[in-house]
Homo-oligomer: A and B are copies of this chain.
Amino acid sequence: MPENQTGETLLFLTDEQVRQGIEAMFFAYRGFTADPDRILSDLAYGRAHHRALHFIARSPGTTVNNLLNILGVTKQSLNRVLRTLVEDGLVESRVGASDKRERNLELTDAGHELERRLSDAQRARMRAAYRAAGPEAVAGFRHVLEAMMDPDSHRRYHALREVSQ
């Protein structure tokens, strides 16, 4: 039964092994957010602010609606976060050129500075983990994470790549 090879690969994974993967995700995600969280707590910001800054930095000029789709929250929830960022001078919201209903979001200089602080902290840990695990492990890591995403998330994940170079 050669067509059953994936089935055999599957058999090899006991519930216990899969459970270990689940626990690894839980503990690793805590580490993943720990460093930015520390910086944010000094500034009366939270993880939601970090995520907004990240994806605005990633796609400068993005619209509110696009950001909503990426973040997967309600516009009311995002708006609260975005409003404080605009009020605090970290984000600029400009009326759209072609469609004036839209708002194009950009980071100000101060916004870029904070985004970089957060990003540097998070990247440092990620880079250290990558280095400790080695290049092949990194490829496997990325592969499993992609396979774990919802189809929508997966499309958006790749769409981010197309915009930047």
- Which A residues are within 8 Å of any B CB, using their own CB? 6, 9-10, 12-13, 15-16, 18-32, 34, 51, 54, 58, 72, 119, 122-123, 125-150, 153-154, 156-157, 160-161, 164
A150-B31 CB under 8 A given contacts A18-B123, A141-B140 = yes
Q: Hey, which chain B residues are within 8 Å of A132, CB to CB?
A: 143, 147
Do A154 and B119 have beta carbons less than 8 Å apart? no
Do A28 and B146 have beta carbons less than 8 Å apart? yes
A140-B133 CB under 8 A given contacts A23-B157, A29-B25 = yes
Q: Hey, which chain B residues are within 8 Å of A23, CB to CB?
A: 58, 157, 160
The residue on B at minimum CB distance from A155 is B27
Do B31 and A142 have beta carbons less than 8 Å apart? no
User: Which single member of B21, B26, B127, B146 contacts A130 (CB below 8 Å)?
Assistant: B21
User: Which single member of B26, B54, B131, B164 contacts A9 (CB below 8 Å)?
Assistant: B131
Q: Hey, which chain B residues are within 8 Å of A154, CB to CB?
A: 27
Q: A26-B51, A129-B147 are in contact. List 20 more A-B contacts (CB 8 A).
A: A9-B131, A13-B127, A21-B138, A21-B141, A22-B126, A24-B142, A24-B157, A27-B145, A27-B150, A27-B156, A30-B72, A30-B149, A30-B150, A31-B153, A129-B144, A133-B140, A134-B140, A136-B140, A137-B139, A141-B144
